[in-house]
Amino acid sequence: MVGVAILGHGVVGSGVAEILEKNASRLAQKSMQDIELLYVLDVREFPDCPYAAKFTKDFSVIENDPRVQVVVETIGGVGVALDFTRRALLGGKNVVSSNKELVAEYGAELLSIARERNLNYLFEASVGGGIPIIRPISQCLAANELHEIYGILNGTTNYILTRMISHGLTMEEALAEAKQHGYAEANPTDDVEGNDACRKICILAALAFGRQIMPSSVSTEGITGVTLRDVRYAASGGMVVKLLGRAKVLDNGNVSAYVAPHLIHRDNPLASVEDVFNGIVVTGDAIGDVMFYGRGAGKMPTASAVVADIIDAAKHLNARKLIFWDKADDNKFEPASAIPSAWYVRAKMSESQARELFGEISMLSCDEAADGEIAFVTPEIGGEMPSAAGIESVMRVL
């Protein structure tokens, strides 16, 4: 028997408990031994829960029970979650996590503790909700030199953009729906300002390129500056607006990464990724482009990824999985301006002024254009994003 303790009974933690309780015999078959939920840690009371007897408020009960071999951390954040994860690993317990903030900021340290103790620290659910992405990058694509990863990494903002564009909702209305569905973070600012996508691109980049990138070094812009006029201008050029995270290996071997809204052409497969779905493109030297697609947030898709990790941890109690990355090195990271781009520009200026500034531009149109306003796409520009008097909005074009 492998004993499991779940830390946190929120959206994801309760989904994991539900699967462990309901599907016990199927999980036993898959992991070739019984997986038993022994504890659920939460500061709140859940008296009506069918497994109410398993609740505890005291982590030391879990820490000191030798039957617990897998600790599942779904608390989130880097406060007690970090303390409990360190203590679980130092105490010889495997840890499975859905906590992207913790993995992005402390992954190098926690993976190193796990490695020293021949334990597993697994976090498939930290990126892409239910989409298998961590294991494919670390195992299935292991033969490749990976060059670039980019994609729609936040379900909430993709849901908001879809509802705003296709159904005319305001950002507030769409966010309220995303909260109801259990997609949004405890602090939804992390979704709409791009911080959640930033943590996820940092995890993917660390995994693919072997070195941690601190979220604080990554230029991060969310969707709060995107207007419906921008969306209409984009549509006139056969493009849609999507929030993308991107990390790329540069010619000098350094890595650059950023999160920002983009205009992407309708023939790009990411353009049709809608609602809560995520789409992630990985480029490798042997495979070329491979795209991962599925539900990027929500209780059961995310719990599905966590439970898969629990099974994996149970099957590999004495064999460490090969996930590892080095500590961050500022000298090997470059700002977003290192990645050249064509740009969408909305500005109060004349077309001839725009051509003087940017050269051969493609004009876009919108029925609701403000007085004196134009919008266009520039040719590819290296360095910083365009800035000049009159410019009101700029976004990269992919």
Residues that bind ligand HSE (CB under 6 A): 129, 154-156, 183-185, 191, 196, 296-297
**Which residue's CB atom is positioned nearest to ligand HSE?**
156
The Cα–Cα gap between 112 and 86 comes to: 11
Residues 207-245 as b or e (16 or more Cβ within 10 Å = b): bbbebbbebeebebbbbeebeebbbbbbbebebbbbbbb
**From the CB of 95, what's the least distance to ligand HSE, in Å?**
18
Do 308 and 122 contact (CB within 8 A), yes or no? no
Rounded Cα–Cα distance for residues 377 and 396 (Å): 9
* CB nearer ligand HSE, residue 18 or residue 196: 196
In whole angstroms, the minimum distance from the beta carbon of 184 to ligand HSE comes to 5
Other CB atoms within 10 A of residue 60 CB: 9
Q: What one-character DSSP code corresponds to residue 70?
A: E
Q: Is 200 a catalytic residue?
A: yes
Which position among 54, 93, 100, 200 bears the catalytic label? 200
With contact defined as beta carbons under 8 Å apart, do 237 and 377 qualify? yes
Cβ closer to ligand HSE: 150 or 233?
Answer: 150
Residue whose entry in the numeric block shows the structure tokens 């909702």? 169
Of 273 and 374, nearer to ligand HSE (C-beta) is: 273
Smallest distance, ligand HSE to C-beta of residue 61, A: 29
Tell me the two tokens of residue 259. Answer: 């999160």
Q: State the minimum distance, in angstroms, from the CB of residue 156 to ligand HSE.
A: 3
Tell me which residue of 394, 347, 350, 397 sits closest to 375, measured CA to CA: 347
Between 170 and 189, CB nearer to ligand HSE:
189
Q: Of 183 and 292, which has the nearer Cβ to ligand HSE?
A: 183
Using CA of residue 76, residue 183, residue 136, residue 398, what is the dihedral sign? negative
Residues labelled catalytic: 200
